[in-house]
Structure 1
Amino acid sequence: MAVPAVGQTSGMVQGTVVDEGGGAPLAAAVVTIEELDRSATTGSDGAFSFSDVPAGDYSLTVRRQGFAPLTSRITVAAGSPVRLDLRMPVAAFEERVTVTGIRGELGLGESTEAGSRLGLRAMDIPASIDVIDSTVMQTRGFQQISDALETVPGVLAGENPASPSNFSLRGFSGAQVTVLRDGIWLGPANMVMRPQNAFNLDRVELLRGPASVLNGQGAVAGTVNAVTKQAMATDAPEYNALFSYGRFNTHQTAVGVNGPISDTLWYRFDVSRYGSDGFVERMSPSSSNVTGNLLWRPAPRAELRFSVDYLTDDVGSYFGTPLLPTAVIGEPLDVITTTTGEGIDARTRFLNYNVTDAVNDSSQLLLRADAEVQLSDQVTLRNTVYNFNAKRNWQNAEGFPYCTAVVDVCTTVGQIQRYYGYFFVDHDQKLFGDRVHLDIRTPVGGLENRATVGFEASTLDFERSRGFRRQLPLAPGDMVDVFNPVPGTYGQRELRGVSPTYIDSWAFFIEDSLPLGDRVRLAGAVRHDGMSLERVNRDAVGAVEPSGFERGFRWWGWRAGAVVHLRTALVGDGGGSAA
């Protein structure tokens, strides 16, 4: 017999929580009756239940990660259950991203020697200029100058072991992109360029477009200027150090110090070492750079600076992977195929076919002295004299074709024959030069007009020895197995010739930057260059060959343009130049 409830004052609340979008049950949703501070968690079926809920009106809230909170008003009657079907909407997605950068990272507020000799900020020069300073390079972990320039839009860096750290810019490459070291032209880029340790650099400047009016011959596509750290006047020594380590035993160690010797003499010294085992056996590139300079101010209007820059490196001895007929490729690497039916076998990807005594190194020493004398409040005389010596050596098995038939030096089918790939080159370079110019600053309508007029000259003595196999007999070690190459040694050198080259260069230049009010500057420059070139070719026994020549060149370069400061942090410029 059922006994009716008498005086019951509570009820039950139950229901399910589902996804509004598809109706799927939602587990782990927390359902709360706010006024009673009672909560229940849904199970895998999305169900929840509250018992003994006093009669009355309540706010019921549902919360679950990934969904918007849902609130409903409910009324509980004594002895009557409340059944709910709660549908939760997906939460609106909001993501807050904080970007931390380096103030002034573009370097447009810094003066740039690649863009002008007037000490102008990059934003005051009518040209496309990028400045990557040492703070950016250190923060981003750049180890070499090519690491920094690869981050600049429109610049491609190549690391061909026969021509390391070459750059492509505006469709030009090689010697058409001029590379300077502290504003000094050391020779054609495809001849003298080497990886340069980023730690020793204060900044890297990139000027796009013809720049012969500023930097002389070869500056057709643009100019790269690597500026080393310089001694600064400080009251106490300042130190900085760097150590990094990565895969393939890639490491970098560096230390620098700047400090005073007396009230008028300061020093700066930086040394860095980079090395790696490389991702291919016996690759092992390395580079060491020592830079140092003294700053002396013997009088209030005079300043002398003496600098030394020594670099030695080994750019590695890996010259690539051989192309094989597709018929013998067991593990195709789909990165390249040829119209003659050749490709790359993945099993050769990390093999080195060069010899064990391979050479691909260099050493160079740049000595420099700068003098600055302020003749008056408006006129300053500056002079730079420098001496550069370098030796570069290559001795490698650079070519390794696959023998598909018994012919010529191929005595066994299915092997790699290196005979015609043996090649050596030795560079011996000496460069001496001087640059002198007057900087003139005069007031124009309360603003400063800047001008410079100067002369520079240099003499280059460059000797190139080279050799490759043509007459020496085949040796057993010249041929190696495709998948298990025994490196062997280079063996006897076969000298083909020696080519001394002499280049004498000189130039007059004038540059001016004229302000037209607070927001507009006109810029102009003109330069006249002269160069005499003598090339002597000698054979293996020293006899002069008829292919030598002498040439003389004269040319003009100019630049004209304007810069307009439209508003704060917004600058427009335009102009033209000829190289």
Structure 2
Amino acid sequence: MPARRRPPLCACVAVALQGVVLVAPASAGGQDPNASSSADPVTLDRIDVRGVRSALDRPAPGGSRLRVSARDTPASVFAIDRDTLDARGVRSTADALSAVPGLVVASPPGHGNTVTWRGFSGGQITQLFNGIDVKYATIAARPVDAWIYERIDAIGGPSGFLHGAGAVGGAIDYVTRIAGFDADDAGATASAGSHDVRVLAGGVNHRFGGDAAVHALRFDASRSARDGWVDAERREAWTVAASLASRPSPRLVHTLALEYQDEHNPRVYWGSPATSGASGRLHALPGAVGRNYNVADGFYAQEVMWGRSLLTWDGGRLGRITNTLYRYDALRDYRNVESYRWDPDRDGVARSGVLQQRHDHQVTGNRTDWHRSTTLAGRPSQWTAGLELSHNRQTRFPQSIAGEIDLVPIDAQVPGRFFAIPGTAPGHVPGATNRVRTAALSVETLTRLGARLGLTAGLRHDRIQLDVVNHRMPTAASPARWSQSYAPTTGRLGLTYDIAPAATVYAQASTAADPPAGVLSTAGFSVLRDFDLSRGRQIEAGGKLDIADGRATATFAAYRLVRENLAIADPDRPGETLPVGRQSARGLEATLDLRPVDALRVQANVGWVDARLDDFVENVAGVPVSRAGNRPANTPARVGNLWLEYAISPIWSAGTDLRAVASRHADNAKTVETAGYALWGAHVRWRPSPRWAMTVRGRNLADRIHVLHAIGTQMVYLGEPRSVELELRAAF
């Protein structure tokens, strides 16, 4: 576990202070609800209105800060809501992302939550928490138990106008449940299954005073544990979220939200040694599947705390102001042997990659947004303007041993302990501290140019200051202190056109700005000393429509993405780099949500991408080698998902799900590739009442051995084998 322990509230005191004055009770409407009226009451006839609201007409906060629906957003936007998370038995934030067409995700411990989408991956996909970017998504977005989340929003392609530098391939936002005034509710779930998986979670939202309440409290907690399918791997995690909402007046609402996550993974699984035959297919070494070559005392652990103060004021004609003050505090610890290579000549697994690491990471910031609905030249128009200030600080404490340390048999059970390795020692010595200060201004607008035509525009300008302090011996490649500044401007311009009452087409152009390699919160001098941010641009067109009187909803999109000024190896000067690389992608995405009869629901999505390294030179053992024309590693050309749910009777239902992922190259050189795979799952649900449900669910029922992520050409990270679980869910 992390050595430094801090009470969850202490890291968030500054955030809490903003809302202290708003906790005093007040009348919701300024009148005594018990006061009598001089007029006699009139009883009206009851009118029941029933209908089905299209998913396209729901708000799409993941694609804009304006109050617009998915239909009116000129982009591919996806919202994975709470009902979908529950219906599909989603266990973690990573599981939920299959709802996004063309997206694949893998979560090796050293990668956190590696998402590949639209031909880009890693730091080129921004992952946020409640709209906040901690600028370390490749690690900070490690999968979290899904219970505390209300929904997950995603937008394809550049979204710099929303979130700043980053996100050339897309952006994903994990949105936490918070207290609300709509209703009192409570729920709980318990499940158990293969690999000794146990989950117990519950939550409650309570309004103090019913419909006239001026305070509401929400509390959610989740406890999960498993003994992994890999030797001796275990995971234990706590996730807690609490929030207090107060409305001292009808126009003013304040919410104080706190979160705490604690995860502990003893002897965490890093991957399996791999081999490739004459076919060029990389697969796990026979006999190594399910083996764990990490040291007996290896582990990964993280402790994360969030504090947010959300203040909303409705000024009527003056507009609506929302202010978010936030604090993020995370501590992550690693102690592992991470790399394993099969050596056929010595008939054993050669181990390397000895690393003890700590990340001490804090982010403090404030965002203010002003929104107003008005008219422009007599046309309905919405405007929003934002100001964001943030300070991101991260200190890393690396201790590593280079080269091979030993050779272990393929059936090794407990291959040694970490501090028995020569050169290792307990304790943490700081390596470097990165401070990233950001000030950003943004503006976004939607204007109806006619009854059918809408124009959307967004623009954001960032001022980014990076300061790095080297805590160890200075060198030419890593001076004692250095700094760099950036000033990117990114934007989006889009049009929507209603070709029919239930059908809309759109077109848009958007831009992005990214660090040339890595992320700013960990970037070193050698990577960034001579480079500005790389640039990305996208053109996208698509459509969104309801079919068959609302029984089906479909979306489709075609896009072209280009990222330029990547850092590549200099062909003429080995060891040097040039900011002239280029990577591109073109692709198609489509979704379908169909209910042909009341008892049957069909949901599907598919993504195809042609991704290329247009101009890319890689340093191979000191020799520059061109990879131009190759597909980036771990990028499948095709991904598809299908979910079927059939109501057998009012209390019984059954469903199945399929996921197919095409083959992927294991490296940029295209020397080997991992096989594609198809996974099949199914479930049966018994719902004796609207408040109770019991589900038996099977995952990977064909028990396919499948590669989620290639780690170079000598290791693969495997997905879980067949599993079965029983889940009980209740609502109160």
- 1:445 Cα deviation (Å)? 8.3
Bigger CA drift: 553-562 or 340-349? 340-349
User: Could you report, residue by residue, the CA deviation over 1:405-446 in whole angstroms, capped at 9, with x for unpaired residues?
Assistant: 7xxxxxxx444443x331121100011000112111114688
2:202, 2:220 within 8 Å by CA — same for their partners in 1? Answer: yes
Alignment equivalent of 2:142, drawn from 191, 194, 211: 194
User: Could you report, residue by residue, the CA deviation over 1:493-519 in whole angstroms, capped at 9, with x for unpaired residues?
Assistant: 357861111100111111111123333
- 1:188 Cα deviation (Å)? 2.6
Counterpart-to-counterpart distance in 1, 2:284 and 2:254? 57
- The corresponding residue for 2:250 is 300
- 1:544 Cα deviation (Å)? 11
Alignment equivalent of 1:253, drawn from 178, 185, 200: 200
SS in 2 for 1:136: helix
Q: How does 1:75-86 map to 2 (within 5 A)?
A: none
Counterpart-to-counterpart distance in 2, 1:540 and 1:469? 17
Amino acid at match of 2:108: N
Amino acid at match of 1:269: F
Relative to structure 1, the CA distance from residue 341 to residue 118 in structure 2 (aligned partners, 3 Å threshold; closer, same or farther) is: closer
Amino acid at match of 2:510: S
- 1:372 Cα deviation (Å)? 1.2
- 1:338 Cα deviation (Å)? 7.5
Relative to structure 1, the CA distance from residue 276 to residue 541 in structure 2 (aligned partners, 3 Å threshold; closer, same or farther) is: farther
Counterpart-to-counterpart distance in 1, 2:182 and 2:284? 58
- Residue 41 of structure 2 corresponds to residue 116 of structure 1: no
- The corresponding residue for 1:441 is 373
Amino acid at match of 2:317: D
SS in 2 for 1:122: coil
Counterpart-to-counterpart distance in 2, 1:376 and 1:340? 65
Alignment equivalent of 1:512, drawn from 431, 442, 445: 445
- The corresponding residue for 1:319 is 270
- The corresponding residue for 1:560 is 493
1:467, 1:497 within 8 Å by CA — same for their partners in 2? Answer: no
Q: How does 1:282-301 map to 2 (within 5 A)?
A: 282-301=232-251
1:532, 1:553 within 8 Å by CA — same for their partners in 2? Answer: yes
2:385, 2:442 within 8 Å by CA — same for their partners in 1? Answer: yes
Q: 5+ unaligned residues in a row in structure 1: which ranges?
A: 1-101, 325-335, 406-412
- 1:308 Cα deviation (Å)? 0.7
Counterpart-to-counterpart distance in 2, 1:343 and 1:558? 42
Amino acid at match of 2:297: D
- Residue 360 of structure 2 corresponds to residue 360 of structure 1: no
- 1:275 Cα deviation (Å)? 2.6
2:253, 2:311 within 8 Å by CA — same for their partners in 1? Answer: yes
Relative to structure 1, the CA distance from residue 381 to residue 323 in structure 2 (aligned partners, 3 Å threshold; closer, same or farther) is: closer
Structure 1 runs of 4+ off > 6 angstroms?
A: 338-343, 540-544
Counterpart-to-counterpart distance in 2, 1:374 and 1:241? 34
- The corresponding residue for 2:690 is none
Question: Does 1 or 2 have the higher relative contact order (CA < 8 Å, sep 6+)?
Answer: 2
Counterpart-to-counterpart distance in 2, 1:103 and 1:160? 41
Alignment equivalent of 2:217, drawn from 263, 267, 279: 267
- The corresponding residue for 1:337 is 277
- 1:479 Cα deviation (Å)? 4.4
Amino acid at match of 1:436: T
2:319, 2:373 within 8 Å by CA — same for their partners in 1? Answer: yes
Counterpart-to-counterpart distance in 2, 1:208 and 1:378? 33
1:500, 1:536 within 8 Å by CA — same for their partners in 2? Answer: yes
Bigger CA drift: 483-492 or 420-429? 483-492
2:474, 2:480 within 8 Å by CA — same for their partners in 1? Answer: no
Counterpart-to-counterpart distance in 1, 2:347 and 2:409? 8
1:108, 1:130 within 8 Å by CA — same for their partners in 2? Answer: no
User: Could you report, residue by residue, the CA deviation over 1:36-72 in whole angstroms, capped at 9, with x for unpaired residues?
Assistant: xxxxxxxxxxxxxxxxxxxxxxxxxxxxxxxxxxxxx
Q: How does 1:175-254 map to 2 (within 5 A)?
A: 175-234=123-182, 237-254=184-201
Q: How does 1:484-499 map to 2 (within 5 A)?
A: 484-491=412-419, 493=424, 498-499=431-432
1:348, 1:482 within 8 Å by CA — same for their partners in 2? Answer: yes
Aligned-residue Cα RMSD (Å) equals 2.9
1:234, 1:259 within 8 Å by CA — same for their partners in 2? Answer: no
Q: How does 1:388-427 map to 2 (within 5 A)?
A: 388-402=328-342, 413-418=346-351, 420-427=352-359
- The corresponding residue for 1:309 is 259
- The corresponding residue for 1:279 is 229
Q: How does 1:136-155 map to 2 (within 5 A)?
A: 136-155=84-103
Amino acid at match of 2:479: P
- 1:167 Cα deviation (Å)? 0.6
Counterpart-to-counterpart distance in 2, 1:338 and 1:387? 53
- 1:247 Cα deviation (Å)? 1.4
Counterpart-to-counterpart distance in 2, 1:155 and 1:575? 21
Percentage of pairs with the same residue: 27
Counterpart-to-counterpart distance in 2, 1:341 and 1:174? 24
Amino acid at match of 1:197: D
SS in 1 for 2:181: coil
Amino acid at match of 2:487: R
Amino acid at match of 2:401: R
Bigger CA drift: 342-351 or 257-266? 342-351
Alignment equivalent of 2:483, drawn from 542, 550, 571: 550
Relative to structure 1, the CA distance from residue 299 to residue 343 in structure 2 (aligned partners, 3 Å threshold; closer, same or farther) is: closer
Relative to structure 1, the CA distance from residue 523 to residue 403 in structure 2 (aligned partners, 3 Å threshold; closer, same or farther) is: closer
2:381, 2:448 within 8 Å by CA — same for their partners in 1? Answer: yes
SS in 2 for 1:150: helix
Alignment equivalent of 1:468, drawn from 389, 400, 411: 400
2:431, 2:471 within 8 Å by CA — same for their partners in 1? Answer: yes
- Residue 279 of structure 2 corresponds to residue 370 of structure 1: no
SS in 1 for 2:488: strand
Alignment equivalent of 1:502, drawn from 427, 431, 435: 435
SS in 2 for 1:322: strand
SS in 2 for 1:388: strand
- 1:267 Cα deviation (Å)? 1.0
2:319, 2:371 within 8 Å by CA — same for their partners in 1? Answer: yes
Alignment equivalent of 1:480, drawn from 398, 408, 415: 408
Amino acid at match of 1:252: V
Relative to structure 1, the CA distance from residue 186 to residue 103 in structure 2 (aligned partners, 3 Å threshold; closer, same or farther) is: farther
1:282, 1:318 within 8 Å by CA — same for their partners in 2? Answer: no
Q: How does 1:528-539 map to 2 (within 5 A)?
A: 528-539=461-472
SS in 2 for 1:371: strand
Counterpart-to-counterpart distance in 1, 2:483 and 2:465? 8
1:107, 1:131 within 8 Å by CA — same for their partners in 2? Answer: no
SS in 2 for 1:123: coil
Counterpart-to-counterpart distance in 2, 1:338 and 1:354? 29
- 1:340 Cα deviation (Å)? 11
- 1:389 Cα deviation (Å)? 0.2
Q: 5+ unaligned residues in a row in structure 2: which ranges?
A: 1-50, 513-732
Counterpart-to-counterpart distance in 2, 1:507 and 1:121? 25
Bigger CA drift: 384-393 or 561-570? 561-570
Amino acid at match of 2:189: L
- 1:148 Cα deviation (Å)? 1.2
Amino acid at match of 2:237: S
Alignment equivalent of 1:164, drawn from 107, 112, 116: 112
SS in 1 for 2:162: helix
Report the TM-score when normalising by structure 1.
0.73
Alignment equivalent of 1:386, drawn from 326, 347, 350: 326
User: Could you report, residue by residue, the CA deviation over 1:5-38 in whole angstroms, capped at 9, with x for unpaired residues?
Assistant: xxxxxxxxxxxxxxxxxxxxxxxxxxxxxxxxxx
- 1:234 Cα deviation (Å)? 4.1
- Residue 382 of structure 2 corresponds to residue 432 of structure 1: no
2:165, 2:488 within 8 Å by CA — same for their partners in 1? Answer: no
Amino acid at match of 1:251: R
Relative to structure 1, the CA distance from residue 340 to residue 167 in structure 2 (aligned partners, 3 Å threshold; closer, same or farther) is: closer
Counterpart-to-counterpart distance in 1, 2:338 and 2:397? 17
Bigger CA drift: 128-137 or 307-316? 307-316
- Residue 513 of structure 2 corresponds to residue 573 of structure 1: no
1:439, 1:453 within 8 Å by CA — same for their partners in 2? Answer: yes
Counterpart-to-counterpart distance in 2, 1:344 and 1:364? 34
Counterpart-to-counterpart distance in 2, 1:109 and 1:285? 40
Counterpart-to-counterpart distance in 1, 2:264 and 2:484? 34
SS in 1 for 2:84: helix
